[in-house]
Amino acid sequence: MLTTTSTPKPVRGSQTPDKVAIKPQRMGFEFGSRVPRYWLDNSYFITHTMNALSVLFPEGEQFFVDSVRAFRDGIEDPKLKKDVRGFIGQEAMHSLEHDAMNEHVREQGMPVEAMERDLRIILDVARKLPKRHQLAITCALEHITAMMADMLLERDDVREDMHESMRPLWVWHAIEETEHKAVAYDVFQQAGGTYAERAFYQVFSTVALGIVGSWFTGRMMLNDRKNFSLKESAKGMWRMWGRNGTFSSLIPTWLEYFRPDYHPWDKDNSDLIARFKAEIEEHIAPQYQNGNRRTLQ
């Protein structure tokens, strides 16, 4: 049985570098006719995969926020408290911006509302787990989103495959995922989380994400089956999972999570934040340039 107890360890606070600021920023992205139907590499398969991932974000990130908030009152480190506030605010902004994207996808005839409803049912089941196990799930999924964010910011070819109308959303999201990539993990450590918990839920969460993501992608493809192409789908699958694929290239990073001494900031990629921050700030809508924000705190 998976234990929820462990030998007491020294309480660790925030391990996020001081030069990294975790601040929420509403962007006000808009999507419409200028966005091509297949906005990623002009690929039917890859675009539906990423659209399905976007549908997961609002409900999924609310789960992340709830799991971290459950331990907020027990945090003693002032910096980690500040990190948690920033984490909650950033996840709120992600939900709002992806809601806007999902509305665009819904207008294309995709069953977004049904998928969101099904996802809520799944997450409500997860909410019946012990609070620290829910936090372990969040840590696992934050590792996955952080390594995807790092890949997106590092690889010019991946960004260039995105249509210019969609690229700012995903680059901005990647920047903020990088900024707060260790917050849930640091809270989990302070809460006494065990290696067994985080290792088990990394496998569990990866499998669950794979199943739900594939299910949602399939539903979108079914709704758009008139444009289905076996050749293009195979090409898209190879682009993601073939040699140096966008997803297959992440396997070594995924495995690093199983090191007993692992920490998200073992790889300091804060230089990527600095590289893209100024560029992405040019895309802030005028009404939000003075820091007009809404958070879930």
Give the 3-state DSSP-derived string for 230-262, with helices as H, strands as E and coil as C.
HHHHHHHHHHHHCCCCCCHHHHHHHHHCCCCCC
14 in a domain, yes or no?
no
**Torsion of Cα atoms, 102 then 108 then 114 then 118, to 10°:** -50
Tokens linked to 103: 């509305």
Answer yes or no: are the C-beta atoms of 45 and 236 closer than 8 Å.
yes
| Amino acid letter for position 100 | A
pLDDT for res 216: 97
3-state secondary structure of 119: helix
87 in a domain, yes or no?
yes
SS3 content of the chain, % helix, strand, coil (to 5): 65, 0, 35
Answer yes or no: are the C-beta atoms of 106 and 112 closer than 8 Å.
yes
Q: What is the CATH number of the domain that holds 116?
A: 1.10.620
32 in a domain, yes or no?
no
pLDDT for res 11: 53
Burial-class residue 86 by CB neighbours within 10 Å (0-12, 13-18, 19+): buried
3 in a domain, yes or no?
no
Identify the domain containing residue 215 by its residue range: 44-282
CA distance 261 to 217: 35
179 in a domain, yes or no?
yes
| Contacts of 186 by beta carbon, 8 Å cutoff, 6+ apart | 12, 13, 14, 15, 16, 80, 83
Total tally of structural domains belonging to the chain: 1
CA distance 187 to 39: 37
Q: In tens digits, what is the pLDDT along the chain, a chain of 297 residues? A: 455 444 444 457 899 999 999 999 999 999 988 899 999 999 999 999 999 999 999 999 999 999 999 999 999 999 999 999 999 999 999 999 999 999 999 999 999 999 999 999 999 999 999 999 999 999 999 999 999 999 999 999 999 999 999 999 999 999 999 999 999 999 999 999 999 999 999 999 999 999 999 999 999 999 999 999 888 899 999 999 999 899 999 999 999 999 999 999 999 999 999 999 999 999 999 999 876 544 333
37 in a domain, yes or no?
no
4 in a domain, yes or no?
no
CA distance 136 to 282: 36
Instruction: With CA atoms as reference, report the closest residue to 165 among 26, 50, 37, 52.
Output: 37
75 in a domain, yes or no?
yes
pLDDT for res 14: 93
Instruction: With CA atoms as reference, report the closest residue to 187 among 64, 21, 5.
Output: 64
| Amino acid letter for position 5 | T
Please, what is the Cα angle at 173 between 25 and 98, to 5 degrees? 85
